[in-house]
Structure formats: C-alpha cells, structure tokens
Amino acid sequence: MPIPVLDFVIRKTFGTHNQRMVRRYLRIVDKVNDLETRFAAMTDPELAAMTPIFRERIAKGERPYDMIPEIFAVAREAMDRGVGIRNIFNPTVNFDPTTLPPEARAAFDETRAIMAATSPRDPVGDLLGCRAMVEAWQFVDIPPVVYHAVRALLPESRPPFRARPFDVQLIGGIVLSEGRIAEMKTGEGKTIVAPLACYLAACENKQVHVVTVNDYLVQRDRDWTFPFHRALGLRVGAIHPMHLQSHAEKVAAYQCDVVYGTTSEFGFDYLRDNMKLRAQDQVQKRRDYAIVDEVDSTLIDEARTPLIISGPAHNRQPRYDLADRLARHLAARQREWQSADDTVQKCRATIAGTEGEIRNAREKTGVPELKKRLDEARKRLPTLERDRDRFTQYYELELDKKRATLTHDGIEEAQREAKLGSFYVGENMDMPHLLEQAVRAHTVYQRDRDYVVAPDDDGQVGVVIVDQNTGRKMVGRQWSDGLHQAVEAKEGVRIKEETQTMATITIQNFYKLYKRLAGMTGTADTEATEFHEIYQLTVVSIPTNVPVVRFDQQDLVFISQKDKWERIVDEIARIHDTGAPVLVGTTSVEKSELLSRMLTERRGIKHEVLNAKHHEREAEIIAGAGQLGAVMIATNMAG
C-alpha cells in the first residue's frame, strides 16, 4: 500500500496526532472533574494546605505529572473562589446578598463584618512585589456555605462572580505544564490557563516567569490572578522598567513563586545581572520555567531582535552636524539617479508580474496580449537602464535590511563638499561611518514609522523610537552605533551622547536559557515546524469551549495602495452606518494618520486615533472603542 494511502487510513482510524493528544488530555480532565466535589467541600485554609502536601509528595519521589488530576482540581477550585466568587465582597461590583438563601446570607453578613474590621495588608511584608495595598475582602477566609450558595445561584462560569476554568482551559494548563505550546482561539481565556500551569510548577518548587506583551498587561494579569495565588499560599510579583520600579521592589518581585513581566524586562534584568560585580547584587537568580503569551510573535517574529545595554562611546563629540549636511547633499545629488532607478524597478516589476500572469492564466485567449506587453517591457528595460546610468549613484540602499552603503563616487563627492581632504587619514577617519549612518537616517528611517519626535524621559523634545512589534514609544531607548544621533541631527533636535554596546543577547538565545519553556497564542500551528526546529517545542491545537460563530473572511488583494485605502474607507463607512463599532489596525503611525485624514475629508466620520503619538490617552480612547458607531484607528499598540 503506498505511504500516502496508508497515512490516510491511519488518520481515519486513529485520528491525527493532535486529536490523539487532545483525547489523552480529556481523559485527564475527566479525572479532574471526578475530584471536584472533594475539594469544593474544603475550607480556604484546608485548600491552601494542599500546596505543602503536594510539595512534600513530589520531594519524596512522586511524579508531578501523575498528580495532575489532584493538583489541577485544587487549582480549579482556588481559581473559582479567588478570582470569581470572592468578588461578591468586592464593594465596586455591587453584589446583591438578598439573593442568597438564609444560611448563606448569615455567613455572608458575618464574613463581611470581619472584613470591615480587618486592616489592609502591607505589600512589602506579605506580597513581595505588589504595588498596592490589598483590601481585606481579598484575603479574609470565606465559609464553604457561601461558595456553595453562589454556585447554585450562578451555575454558569461567567465574570465577575464565577471563574471556574472550563475543560479546554484545563487542557491548556496541562499542555503548558508539559512544556508545549497551547494554540487557543482569541477569547478562550488564556489569562486563566497560565496560572494553572504555574501552580503545578510551584508544587515542584520551580519559579515561573509569565511573559506578557506590555507593561499594562503585566500589572493587570498579576493583580487579576493574585487572589488565586494567595489562596494556594503562593506569592506573585510583577517586574517593570527600572524608572517605574525601585531596585528593592524588583528584588522582592523576583523572590516570588510566580513573576509577571515583559520579554524586554526579563532580558534586560539578565543582562544587568551579568554586568554586576557581585553575585549577591543580582536580582534574577533563577530561570526555571517561562510561559510566553503571544508566543509566535515573541519566539518567531522577534526571535533575532537583540536586547542591548549601552554605555558612553566617545570622549569627544563626533561631527554629526557635518555628516548630516553631507548626507543631505548626497541625497540631493542622487535624486535624478533615484528617480531613473525607480522607473527601472517599476519596469522589472511589470516584467515579473506579467510572466506570472502568463503562467497562471486560465483563459488562454488573453495570453497573446500579455506576451505583447511582456516583450514591450523587456525591450524598454535596457533603454531605461542606460538613461539611469547617465547619472551618478552616490550610495546603495537595501531597505529590507535597513542598510545604506556609500559608493566610491559618494565618498569622493563628500570629500569635495567637506573640504577636509581624505576621509581615511588622521582625525577624519570617523567620517565614512558617520556619513553612512547619516545617509541611513535620511533614506531608510522614516518619521512616524520608525520613530516620532516627542518628549523623551528627560522631558525634552527628541527622537523616540517606535517599537515595530507593539507600536509603542520606547522612551529612554536609543539606536546604537551613532544611528540615533544621525536621526537627531536630521530632525534638528538636541543630540544626545552616543552609546556603545556593553551587553547584548537575542530574544531567541535568552529563552533558550530556561530549563522549561512553554507558550500560548491564537496562531501557532502555521509556525509549528519552526518551533520544533529552533526550540524543540510542539504545538497542540485546543478546541474551543463552544463552537465558533465568527465568520473569518478571505483576504482581499489590491493592485495599488490608492485602491486599497479607498476600499477601506468605503467599508468603514458601510459598517459605521449600521451602528456597529469599528476597529481598524494599521502598521505605522504614518498610515494611521493617512487613514484618519481620508475618513475626515472623504466621509466626515468622527473617529479616534490610537498610536505612539497619543499613547497617554490610551485608556480613555479604548474605553470608548465599543460604543455605538465608534470608529478607532490604531497601530498594533492597541493589542
């Protein structure tokens, strides 16, 4: 029997590898469900006492994965109690206690009286890393009768009063615990999934680093899951950039069982620790286990991004202004060559596109016309190249690599313009490098895409880098090797001191330092091969809790940018007229502002723009994003 046919028969008989794994996880989940009533009957202290019991059993040699049903049953109960039912005492949620039966109502009133007489706890002594006082309703023990009554009153697991993890969320926790990647659709509750895996790791006495995509989510997720961790006797902290968190707070956070943070902060703390002179001054002592949210973006898209700590590079100020003047001169002289080269590239694109149309043509009647167009373009190309070569090229651009390289003619022209003699003798030897960076600043790096001109961390207007992955301003960060100073000279703002690399590591290499690595995302299956080859991680696609009702439409491809933007504006107007809210994602500040202008000028539609220029209004803008007929244009910082 041929191998493809055999493979088909095996899949039909036994299911795909992913289906077989999900079935195995469901058998474990069935065991968790069987234990649910046992742990639901426990008091809060009895539930918390299970953690040291689990740790002792593992220390004596019992395999953690054999204990998953018990550990996850305890975690499910703690999650429902701490993150869900406990909110009935939260004064901001307005739970109506009159809906409780008499016995539970009496217990509710008695517990609320105890909470009213209890002082908030000190985060330094009790929480190690929490940045706010914890109110009494978050930690005073609640009688089981209250838990039972609320479950009977509100049987569905729905915020704010219930947070019982669904079976598919338990599967996600098991997948993470095994050091795999859980692919779960958006909205399936990945924020609940990570703490389940954290608890199993904590029972193994491993510290867990939970990696989220921005500082807002770091604190939000840490605060949201704090009652869960507290209910199980665990400590949970959060790390933030150095200018937002003192050294003592960071040390305290790293002493917790679970630590929330971003990739950059975990990575920079690792680099800073390696620059310390004494081991006792280091803060990140352990890298046992990392759970990475949006794992495809972090481990694949940003994998080769370097994390860099810089220091002063020069004893004297280099001649950035002179390099900027020379770069402007070369750019002006190359304008004619560039215009002619653009025509050449357009002709080459026409040739390549027409060849593709001929190969893929379904109706052969149109092929002669396409061949005629192809022959005309091929005949025109040598003439266009000769016309271009009449002009001088002073530098070469590689936009995909963000690189600009001076030609011999460029160096000679710059030397003539500078009137300094040769750039390769004496004090002029830094000029080729400075000039190349200045040319990059003018030709490769674009304002409102790669950076914005805004107040920096010292309050003065300067060049602030825009993170291409999050769309956020990276205040306090600089490009190295003089590039940042070249852009500052281009924009005419204060030029800061140049820096040089003191310590660096790529994101990929940093995550390879962890003893166990796992992740979760909504889109991992397409990169499954890369995950396996680079990190030895396997992807498990987890089914949704209920069938998906959203309809995912096919992509639309347009011949020109103009057609695309006009269609987008028309589509926004169509949906806006129905009263539905609209979120439009753009890839840069520049494009978000272009679309904003088109909406205003062509349709007069009122809208909000969320990008790195307006990040201080982020919470206000997002708060109104779901209103009737609201339109929001955002870079990917809106994620």
In one-letter notation, the amino acid at residue 637 is: M
Give residue-wise pLDDT tens across range 432-454. 999 999 999 999 999 988 899 98
Residue scoring higher pLDDT (480 or 599): 599
Give residue-wise pLDDT tens across range 585-627. 888 778 888 999 999 998 899 998 887 766 666 667 777 777 8
pLDDT value of residue 133: 63
DSSP H or E segment with residue 613: none
Rounded CA separation 506/271 (Å): 11
Q: Is the pLDDT of residue 568 over 50?
A: yes
Q: Averaged over 305-331, what is the pLDDT?
A: 83
| Size of the chain, expressed as the number of residues it contains | 639
The reply to whether 561-638 shares the fold of 3-307+510-541 is yes
Query: Where does the pLDDT of residue 169 fall: very low under 50, low under 70, confident under 90, or very high at 90 and above?
Result: very high
Angle at 253 between CA 252 and CA 256, to 5 degrees: 95
Spatial contact of 499 and 310, defined as CB atoms under 8 Å apart: yes
Pairing of strands 289-293, 516-521: parallel
In three-state secondary structure terms, 569 is helix
pLDDT value of residue 123: 47
Query: Where does the pLDDT of residue 176 fall: very low under 50, low under 70, confident under 90, or very high at 90 and above?
Result: very high
CA nearest neighbour of 484 among 524, 518, 522, 434: 434
Question: Which alpha helices (DSSP H) does 137-277 contain, by range?
Answer: 144-153, 167-177, 190-203, 215-231, 247-253, 263-274
**CA 208 to mean position of chain CA atoms:** 18
pLDDT value of residue 128: 45
Rounded CA separation 343/341 (Å): 5
Angle at 144 between CA 39 and CA 153, to 5 degrees: 100
Q: Averaged over 388-412, what is the pLDDT?
A: 93
pLDDT value of residue 470: 66
Within a 13 Å sphere around the CA of 534, how many CA atoms are in the beta-carbon half? 19
CA nearest neighbour of 542 among 212, 199, 170: 170
The domain 3-307+510-541: what is its CATH number? 3.40.50.300
Domain spans of the chain, in order of start: 3-307+510-541, 561-638
CA nearest neighbour of 523 among 188, 125, 226: 188
Q: Is the pLDDT of residue 3 over 50?
A: no
Q: Is the pLDDT of residue 543 over 80?
A: yes
Task: Report the mean per-residue pLDDT for the chain.
Answer: 88
Q: Determine if the peptide bond prior to 160 is cis (ω within 30°).
A: yes
Give residue-wise pLDDT tens across range 345-371. 999 999 998 998 888 877 778 888 889
Q: Is the pLDDT of residue 499 over 80?
A: no
Kindly tell me the burial class for residue 385, based on how many C-beta atoms sit within 10 Å of its own C-beta (0-12, 13-18, 19 or more): middle
Spatial contact of 637 and 471, defined as CB atoms under 8 Å apart: yes
Percent of the chain residues past pLDDT 90, beyond the cut: 62
Q: Running DSSP on this structure, what letter comes out for residue 582?
A: E
Q: Is the pLDDT of residue 315 over 60?
A: no
Residue scoring higher pLDDT (35 or 620): 35
DSSP H or E segment with residue 384: helix 367-389
Percent of the chain residues past pLDDT 70, beyond the cut: 92
Query: Where does the pLDDT of residue 126 fall: very low under 50, low under 70, confident under 90, or very high at 90 and above?
Result: very low
What is the separation, in whole angstroms, between the first and last Cα of the chain?
A: 50
Query: Where does the pLDDT of residue 13 fall: very low under 50, low under 70, confident under 90, or very high at 90 and above?
Result: low
Residue scoring higher pLDDT (610 or 60): 60
pLDDT value of residue 440: 96
Q: Which CATH number fits domain 561-638: 3.40.50.970, 3.40.50.720, 3.40.50.300, 3.90.1150.10?
A: 3.40.50.300
Query: Where does the pLDDT of residue 120 fall: very low under 50, low under 70, confident under 90, or very high at 90 and above?
Result: confident
